[in-house]
Amino acid sequence: MSEHPAITDSHCHLDFPDFDGQQAQIIENALAAGVTRMVTICTRMDAEPKVRAIAETHAPVFYAAGVHPMRAHEEPLVPVDTLIALSQHPKFVGIGETGLDYHYTAETAQVQQDSLRNHIAAARETGLPLIIHARAADDDMARILTEEYRNGAYTCVMHCFSSSAELARAALELGFYLSMSGIAAFPKSQELRDIFAAAPVDRILVETDSPYLAPPPHRGKRNEPAYTAHTARVGAEVFGMDYADFAAQTQANFDRLFTKAAAYEAT
């Protein structure tokens, strides 16, 4: 057992080729670093069986499924009923990732928005948290999240948050959560750290988004769930907390948002 405070990697991609054949070792590394739970995220429907199998094979791993906004134009619009049906699996704990990304794929904005609204409907229906990817689309993201919330409440995490202070405020006003990735630990990310520092600490999660965005001292290398601990230590500094206290706070936050994962563990 790890002697490190327990934390959760709320967003990783254990099905990606970077981890092929190595999942057992990667999970062992995570446990040794105090990362006791991981949520592995499906980004396209044809990958869902592989993602589900990883969660079924490894006790510390939960999963979520959705269609990444950059992939939304590559397949038929995912029906709300499909997402609801997938949510019946005991280790399926969130809807997504979904969202808007106009950085590379602005020409598919409308299909991204349609896909996002279907994911929101599934999150509202299932009670599971929505997992949002947002890049270069702050105005539309804030507008759609707010419009849809008025149509019926749902819960949400802004994964790998690195957008504007305005989008952070809009999300927090809706009761949503912000997740810290390795980007928040980069030396030049002080403006982002200031955005996190202005947020309530009971609305903060930590993640890797591995295999991407490794925090220092592993920047530029393949990221993995064990490195959540490096980002969490930066998070503790941002909030002026002891690492153990910050870790415990993020665990409580995760349990409050990802209630199905918390209940599964409790049983």
CATH of the domain at 31: 3.20.20.140
Q: If DSSP states are collapsed to H, E and C, what string results for 59-87?
A: CCEEEEECCCHHHHHHCCCCCHHHHHHHC
Q: What is the pLDDT of residue 262?
A: 97
In a domain, 260, yes or no: no
pLDDT tens for the 267 residues of the chain, in order:
468 999 999 999 999 999 999 999 999 999 999 999 999 999 999 999 999 999 999 999 999 999 999 999 998 999 999 999 999 999 999 999 999 999 999 999 999 999 999 999 999 999 999 999 999 999 999 999 999 999 999 999 999 999 999 999 999 999 999 999 999 999 999 999 999 999 999 999 999 999 999 999 999 999 999 999 999 999 999 999 999 999 999 999 999 999 999 999 877
In a domain, 261, yes or no: no
In a domain, 266, yes or no: no
With a CB cutoff of 8 Å and minimum separation 6, the contacts of 120 are: 98, 130, 144, 145, 148, 154
- In whole angstroms, give the CA distance from residue 98 to residue 227: 24
Q: Name the residue among 128, 61, 139 with its Cα closest to residue 93.
A: 128
For 71, 91, 159, 217, the CA distances from 182, given in Å and listed in that order, are 23, 26, 12, 10
In a domain, 180, yes or no: yes
Q: What is the pLDDT of residue 2?
A: 61
Q: What is the pLDDT of residue 20?
A: 95
- In whole angstroms, give the CA distance from residue 37 to residue 53: 16
In a domain, 94, yes or no: yes
In a domain, 170, yes or no: yes
In a domain, 262, yes or no: no
The total number of structural domains in the chain stands at 1
In a domain, 264, yes or no: no
Q: How many CA atoms lie within 13 A of 119 on its CB side?
A: 33
Q: What is the pLDDT of residue 266?
A: 76
Q: What is the pLDDT of residue 265?
A: 80
- In whole angstroms, give the CA distance from residue 160 to residue 206: 8
What range defines the domain where residue 34 resides?
Answer: 7-255
- Radius of gyration over every alpha carbon of the chain, rounded to an integer in angstroms: 17
Q: What is the pLDDT of residue 3?
A: 83
